[in-house]
Structure 1
Amino acid sequence: MSKTVEAYFAAFNAGDIEAMLACVAEDVAHHVNEGQVRRGKAAFGEFCAHMSRCYQEELTDMVIFAAEGGTRAAAEYIVNGTYLATDSGLPEANGQSYRLPAGSFFSLEGDKISRVVTYYNLADWVAQVSR
């Protein structure tokens, strides 16, 4: 199922939220770094739209790992971003750029992602955009 994960990341890099949503299950569980679990495709779509307003990001240096049987996958990558609009509770945005290592873990059911977990070092990001 790494094809589904590859399609998900290609859609992310293209800024294509609809294509990202096509990769996830209706009841997707989204575990975001430093946040609450969001459940369902609608909540995931709202999160993606919010992120697109506040951040412009491209993922590079990606390595995708897939478990035998196709039910789990993981990815390691670099987030290359620009902080576009101030996000609630975070430093003020003024177009700061950042580069941050990150990773994601996935559960898959059939050809859909049923769980997304994303990790990065928030303190590192805050330090980069606060300079």
Structure 2
Amino acid sequence: MSATATVQAYFEAFNRGDVAAMLACLSDDVAHHVNEGQVRHGKEAFRAFCEHMNRCYREELTDMVVFEAEAGRRAAAEFIVNGTYLETDEGLPVAKGQTYRLPAGSFFSLTDGKISRVVTYYNLADWTRQVS
């Protein structure tokens, strides 16, 4: 599977809320760099992050554009996050079902056809403004 196809499968699984399918796209030692957070290592840390996110947020990614480079060893994606804030996340504004829409991007490294690094960026100040 090409890097583009792997990244697209990862995001299609995200939009379905299918954590198991997302994990299938990842290497066992994946490094997950979250926006404004610490790097998490391994699939179990990624699973725990996804479970937390699914409890606090419902999101759908649209307007997806995926780029591939370095013979499939690197990829990037630009998209719009369309979300609903479901449950208050620690240190953030109180959740009351607010909706938000913001541009975001992710960067990937791939090893043997699996995602070994994922980095996601969005403007936290913009998100905070939208839900406050």
Q: Classify the TM-score, shorter chain.
A: over 0.9
Q: Secondary structure at the match of 1:69?
A: helix
User: Could you tell me which residue of structure 1 aligns to residue 24 of structure 2?
Assistant: 22
Instruction: Find 2:45's aligned residue among 21, 43, 46.
Output: 43
User: Could you tell me which residue of structure 2 aligns to residue 84 of structure 1?
Assistant: 86
Q: 1:24, 1:18 → 2: CA distance?
A: 10
User: Could you tell me which residue of structure 2 aligns to residue 32 of structure 1?
Assistant: 34
Q: Secondary structure at the match of 1:33?
A: coil
Q: Secondary structure at the match of 2:116?
A: strand
Q: Secondary structure at the match of 1:125?
A: helix
Root mean square deviation of aligned Cα: 0.5
Give 1:63 deviation, angstroms: 0.3
Q: Give CA-to-partner distance per residue, 1:25-55, whole Å, 9 cap, x none.
A: 1000000000000000000000001000000
* Equivalent position amino acid for 1:109 in 2: T
Instruction: Find 2:100's aligned residue among 82, 98, 101.
Output: 98
1:54 lines up with 2:56 in the alignment: yes
Q: 1:105, 1:116 → 2: CA distance?
A: 6
* TM-score between both structures, scaled by the size of structure 2: 0.97
User: Could you tell me which residue of structure 1 aligns to residue 7 of structure 2?
Assistant: 5
Q: Which structure 1 residue ranges, 4+ long, deviate > 4 Å from structure 2?
A: none
Q: 2:70, 2:63 → 1: CA distance?
A: 23
* Unmatched runs of 5 consecutive residues or more in structure 2: none
Q: Give CA-to-partner distance per residue, 1:52-104, whole Å, 9 cap, x none.
A: 00000000000000004100000000000000000000000010000010000
* Equivalent position amino acid for 2:77 in 1: A
**Identity across matched positions, percent:** 75
Give 1:111 deviation, angstroms: 1.5
Aligned residues: 130
* Equivalent position amino acid for 2:10 in 1: Y
* Equivalent position amino acid for 1:103 in 2: G
Give 1:110 deviation, angstroms: 1.3
* Equivalent position amino acid for 2:91 in 1: G
